[in-house]
Each structure stands twice: as C-alpha cells, then as structure tokens.
Structure 1
Amino acid sequence: MSVEEGWIDYNGHMNVAYYVLLFDRVVDQAFATIGLGPEYVRARALSYFTVELHVCYLRELTAHAPVIGTAQLLGHDDKRMRLYLELTHAEEGWVAASAEELFLHVDLTSRRAAPFPADIRARLTAMQAAHAALHWPERAGRPIRLEP
C-alpha cells in the first residue's frame, strides 16, 4: 500500500482516519484468506462488525510512503475475534502504527450477533494455532493512561 497525497493533513503527515483505513484494508485481506470476504457476506448474509478499536500512532507517515500491513489473530470464540495489526514502512522497516481490534460476527438479516459457521470456526482455529507461534505483541491489551 502507499500513502496518498490527499491523506496528508495540515500537520504534514497522514491524518489519523487514513491509518484506520489502511488497517481496514489489512483486515479485509486477512479475513478473505479464511473465507470471510465479500462473497461470504453475499452468500450467507453474515459478516463481522468492529465493536472496539485501539490505535497507537508511533511514527509519522508522509505522502507516498510505502506501507505493509500485518494481522495476528490473538483469540476468538463462538462470535468474536481479537486481532492485532501493524503498519510498517515497507522500505525502512519501522512500525508506524499498531491497532488492536475486536470484531463481532453478525447475522445481517437480524443485525444481531451470530455464531460462526463450523467451516469458518475451523479456519479461525487453524489461523490462531499458526499465529500462536508468533510473539505476543507488546502493545496488545494496552490501556489508555495519563500518568501523573
């Protein structure tokens, strides 16, 4: 991915909203690999909604900066998924931002929480098992604080 000129704000760096946009693109790609893409939504009338998001802005991204996004599944249950995401400068290797996101699986007909179908639950279990080999992210579960 690349930072677009129109995403730069009056401070000369990428506006906070576009970090979230890039994280959303990473989520879409990661979830498509386990069958939770647009075709899943159309065929089953099921989807997932973000119910909580915590972003840490670590370094500024400027216009045209190349960015790589990663996703790590930290946990899941019958209806929820917890994901850790990072945006990294693709050439220089530093982490620009991280996010932790909680998703709720939803029946789009009733607009209520719904359990994952067995095939998706199996893929989530396999993804989580694979991601268990990764280190636990330092910023995962981090609260917002204002220390005196």
Structure 2
Amino acid sequence: MTTPSPIITSPMGIEKDWIDYNGHLNMAYYNVLFDRGSDQAFELMGMGPSYAKDRRLTIYTAEVHVCYVQELHLDHKVTVSFQLLDHDEKRLRAYQEIRHVDGWLAATSEQLALHVDMAGPKVAPFPPDVMAKVEAMRAAHAALPMPERAGRAIGIKRKTA
C-alpha cells in the first residue's frame, strides 16, 4: 500500500451547530475538523478505533498550535491534510491544513501526540508493527517541504523605533 503524501481527506461540510454568534465557524470546531482529518492518518499507521479497543493502546494529544487564517462559513466545504513531520519511539509531530475546496487556506495545526498504554494510562513505545507503519509514513512524507507555518511560536512582534 502506498502512503499518500500528504494525506488529504474527502471534502467535509460545516455543520449548522458549529456556527457561532459571529456567523462563522466557532474556533473549537476547527479542532474537530483537524481531529477528523487525522483519523485517516492514524488508521493508516495502525492506530484507528480498533487499536484502542482491541490492544488498549491509543494516541493522546499533548500539544496543539492552531493558526486561524481565513473564516469558514456554513456553506463551505473543506479538506484536511496531514503531514507527519517527525516521530520517535513514543511521539508523533504532525502538521495539518484545512483548505476550502476552492484551494484557499482556512487554518493550520501543528500537534505533538503521545502513544499511550491505556492500562496506565502511561506513555509507551509503539509496538514494532505500528512503528513500521509510522516509519513508512514518515519516509513517504520526508520528501515534502517543511511547511512554512510549522514550528511557529506565539508572540507579539514589536516595531523598533
């Protein structure tokens, strides 16, 4: 099986209950879209819903940095991409983009995820079969350029006099 590089979801719609009093997608639901977009990638790496149920191993999010670039509205359709930037024996670093189906960028997300043994719960190494899939995805994504928005820090840039 060839790993898509990057992984891009089928188009998804914006749900009516996700629209806030400002008339656009509430900030929390960008994270819902990112989460749904990462499901396909985790499944390809062997860590889908059955992984948690059958093996009692899963992925927890440790850190997320979201940049809201352009508003989304109820009538919009979007795709979500997933690029695996880095990994070690217990962690994944990924970058995602939400794009309108017309191609414009709506939001970006960079995440650090932990592999967790649910019996603890505690952070645990990936089993060999899953690590092989993680390494295969990382190899497939290694040829992609580092996203410009990856590794950003939050801060206020001040003009110097």
TM-score, L = length of structure 1:
0.97
- 2:154 maps to 144
- How much has 1:64 moved relative to structure 2? 2.3
- How much has 1:124 moved relative to structure 2? 0.6
The alignment-based identity, stated in percent, is 53
Match of 2:50 among 39, 46, 50: 39
Q: RMSD across aligned C-alpha pairs, in angstroms?
A: 0.7
- 2:136 maps to 126
- How much has 1:39 moved relative to structure 2? 0.7
CA contact (8 A) 2:64 2:109 kept: yes
- 2:145 maps to 135
Once residues 66 and 147 of structure 1 are traced to their aligned partners in structure 2, the CA distance between those partners, rounded to angstroms, is 33
Pair 1:69-2:80 in alignment? yes
Matched positions, count: 147
Once residues 58 and 93 of structure 1 are traced to their aligned partners in structure 2, the CA distance between those partners, rounded to angstroms, is 13
- 2:95 maps to 84
CA contact (8 A) 1:5 1:64 kept: no
SS in 1 for 2:13: coil
Pair 1:95-2:105 in alignment? yes
Gaps of at least 5 residues in structure 2 are 1-11
Match of 2:125 among 115, 120, 127: 115
CA contact (8 A) 2:44 2:133 kept: no
Match of 1:51 among 62, 67, 72: 62
Gaps of at least 5 residues in structure 1 are none
Runs of 4 or more off by more than 6 Å in structure 1? Answer: none
- How much has 1:34 moved relative to structure 2? 1.7
